[in-house]
Structure 1
């Protein structure tokens, strides 16, 4: 790949991972509820999980989904249902410092596994693979794309978690926390709406 292509991948990666979506809304919410340190496993799971997904898809898994579109449809509706459940839980999250019962931040494995049913992650992966993985040297190309997403994703995941954690004191009242939760939940619901119309086929 040329320097120009690498710069284009970095720019596209930064634009996609920093924009609001399920991962970022959930990280901000977790940071606000549990603090930055407790949210770190969640952030690392997002930052590592998506590049791994990208790498595997670029090496041929995407062709499986292209040949079996029913798999993509199943993941679409599972993802939509899960996101709506997450949006509801986010909307009803309690202010920082209050008794949150059994609520816990996501683990590294939970956040990594979530990428496979995260519609924004699918759209990002499909777009990146179709544009920059030509198949001439698939392992090298897939590794480069995944590596760039890993580095950029680390800044984004930790940035959104830190953003939420920085608001902890401000969100100590019920009204402010409810307003914050409504915005984060709304971002997740908007993703579900987009998911219904998204074309998740590789190369589409």
Structure 2
């Protein structure tokens, strides 16, 4: 159980599409409005774990074009996000903008290559075949949720903290451009 918790911690706290999006949301909307996004991620991950546990991982191995399609969609989404961040104005200048919601965050996991890698690896490493298989899948999902939520909240809080620190348009522009570069770089890493 401790190895699973450590794996969940490392995978949840390290940079990736979810954490970059949470930092951006914290910056743009504050921590309170980012909570639906934070809570949607473990829901999507749980769906992935169940799908991989039900055999989707084997389908990926047999038909790698599915994974390529997921990478392509994930890449396009991250590049769209990077474009939006590059052009972002000050948070107060965008009253019509809305943070990513619970269902959007859950659905994003379906095209998030890092999340698929985590799900396939977690099932392979921590869910052995045999009696109690479904219970072990649920346990892995619960551990990822319990460990992951505080990790994700840290990234969103970091963004919210930046929001308070960024009072000048020049500083905000630098942060927006940096935050725009990160998802674009992450999208490129999907293909390495």
TM-score (norm 2): 0.91
Stretches of 4+ moved more than 6 A in 1? none
DSSP-derived class of the 2:99 partner: coil
Instruction: Map Cα deviations across residues 116-161 of structure 1 (whole Å, 9 max, x no partner).
Output: 1012112222222222222224212211111100111111222211
Any stretches of 5+ residues in structure 2 without a counterpart? none
CA contact (8 A) 1:95 1:172 kept: no
Equivalent of 1:77 in 72, 76, 100? 72
Instruction: Map Cα deviations across residues 73-94 of structure 1 (whole Å, 9 max, x no partner).
Output: 1111111111111111122222
- Distance (Å, rounded) in 1 between the aligned partners of 2:166 and 2:87: 14
DSSP-derived class of the 1:169 partner: helix
CA contact (8 A) 1:38 1:105 kept: yes
- The aligned counterpart of 1:14 is 9
Match runs of 1:103-122 below 5 Å: 103-122=97-116
Match runs of 1:1-204 below 5 Å: 6-97=1-92, 99-136=93-130, 137-197=132-192
- Distance (Å, rounded) in 2 between the aligned partners of 1:16 and 1:183: 22
- Distance (Å, rounded) in 1 between the aligned partners of 2:189 and 2:128: 27
CA contact (8 A) 1:20 1:187 kept: no
Q: CA RMSD in A?
A: 1.6
- Structure-2 change in CA distance of 1:185 and 1:138 (3 Å): farther
Instruction: Map Cα deviations across residues 2-41 of structure 1 (whole Å, 9 max, x no partner).
Output: xxxx100100110111111111111111111111111111
- Distance (Å, rounded) in 1 between the aligned partners of 2:117 and 2:143: 17
How many residues are paired up? 191
- Distance (Å, rounded) in 2 between the aligned partners of 1:48 and 1:181: 28
Any stretches of 5+ residues in structure 1 without a counterpart? 1-5, 198-204
